[in-house]
Amino acid sequence: MKNIFAKIVALTIILTLFISCSNEQPEGNLQSKVADKKEVKKNSHNSNSTTKQARLASNKNPHDGHKEHMEQSPDRIKVAPPKVEDVGDGTELAVIKSTKGTMVVEFFPDIAPLHVANFKNLAKAGFYDGTTFHRVLPGFVMQGGDPNTLDSNPNNDGQGGPGYGVTAEFNPTPHEKGILSMARSSDPNSGGSQFFICLGRAAHLDNKYTVFGKVIKGMDIVEKIGTVRRDPSQKHDRNLPAVRMDEVTVIKRSELDKVK
């Protein structure tokens, strides 16, 4: 009888231990699953973060780091901020004489009067004379109008201006080859003196940058300048010679035929 009782006790102990071990195993698996889930979530987050960063990099504004910051360049011609009435004769043209040749631009005062007035005021004051197209990206844009390009330091190219900003006048005019548009920083109203001429279609700039004119004569010169790559953001590009604007003037449309 005692032997039977001892066997029953021993069997009870064995069953208790088995059940206890059996109950612990799912908890261990659950923890493992939670850990795996956290790891998967972490990896997914990292992957999404990497993908987002890559997407942001691919969509990076092409003018970042090379735009008007409204900084008054030292010892430079001072011009007052434009007013709409400064537009004057809306049919007037701008003549840009560069070391590669001459280009003629017509303005769009109906859709961007402040920007037209601003460019004309700066040109008439001689603000652009001697500055360069400091940033040229073939197939995209050629950007100029920074008074900092007059000094001997290529590191500050793209950071200068007249010391004021022009209120944005975004419009639906597409950024196509030959279009004249205003460069700016992340602030929509930060455009000053720097402008760019499109070397090709740039749809992602539409309604985000102010179009205020287009080249009507000298597109062959635009194409010629457009092959001279130069980007101040690239150290090896800074010392490459930039195309200079010897003189930028405003003329009557009736004088167009006299432009060589």
Alpha-carbon distance 88 to 168, whole Å? 20
Does 84-258 carry CATH code 3.90.1720.10? no
CB-based contact 214:179 (threshold 8 Å): yes
In the chain, domain spans: 1-60, 84-258
pLDDT tens digit string along 101-153? Answer: 999 999 999 999 999 999 999 999 999 999 999 999 999 999 999 999 999 89
DSSP states along 169-228: ---S----TTEEEE---SSTT-B-S-EEEESS--GGGTTTS-EEEEEEE-HHHHHHHTTS
* pLDDT band (50, 70, 90) for residue 43: very low
CB-based contact 233:134 (threshold 8 Å): no
**Parallel, antiparallel or unpaired: strands 179-182 and 211-217:** antiparallel
Full-model pTM:
0.74
* pLDDT band (50, 70, 90) for residue 6: low
- Helix ranges (H only) for 59-134 are 113-124
Asked if the model's pLDDT at residue 75 lies above 90, the reply is no
* pLDDT band (50, 70, 90) for residue 239: confident
Handedness of CA 104, 246, 124, 148 (dihedral sign): positive
Asked if the model's pLDDT at residue 50 lies above 90, the reply is no
